[in-house]
Amino acid sequence: MKRAIILIVSAVVLMILIDSCYRDKVDALYPLAGYASPCDSASTYNLSIKYIMTYNCTSCHNANNPFAGVALDTYSSVVQQAKNGNLMGTILSQPGHSSMPPGGAQLSSCQIDKLNQWINAQEPQ
Ligand code: HEC
């Protein structure tokens, strides 16, 4: 009987421990969890811009593998590309820029609006 109780208590403690580890990593495992649509979120880095980048850009532009030397996976790296004009230059396929994402599919007008609002508001975090 005592043994059974100890077993059950240990199992519960183990489940709680495993569960809390899992929760710690939710952000890393599911970076897009909680993200509905850029049209529904405020134009801040954490509420929308980060997700637009994650959906469309960071597979090729991240710190470990920055295509063309461009990383877009942190606040400061996106601000840098916004300020030097390359972010919107590539997204809007402006002269002198490659079109991004490559392959011809432009970001939605909603996402482009969010990015413009963000830049006009001095890139709020
Ligand atoms: C499939 C991979 C891939 C994805 C996704 C991608 N890029 Fe690129 N990007 C590249 C490559 C390759 C280059 C370098 C060659 C070139 O310029 O065409 C580049 C170059 C760039 C440059 C520097 C060149 C310039 O004209 O200023 C910027 C800025 C850039 N990308 C931004 C973005 C943005 C913003 C997104 C998301 C909307 C994005 N990229 C998505 C592969 C990618």
Ligand 1: which of 62, 94, 100 to mutate, judged by most atoms within 8 Å of the beta carbon?
A: 100
CA angle 18, 24, 26 (to 5 degrees): 100
pLDDT over 70 for what percent of the chain? 71
User: Ligand 1: which residue has its CA nearest to atom 18?
Assistant: 98
* Cα–Cα distance, 64 to 70 (Å, whole number): 11
91: CB partners within 8 A, 6+ apart:
100, 106, 107, 112, 115
pTM of the model: 0.79
Nearest CA among 25, 24, 27, 90 for reference residue 57? 90
pLDDT of res. 50: 94
pLDDT of residue 26: 46
pLDDT at 23: 47
Residue 108 CA to residue 116 CA, distance in Å, equals 12
3 falls in which pLDDT band (50, 70, 90)? confident
Confidence band for 33, pLDDT divided at 50, 70 and 90: low
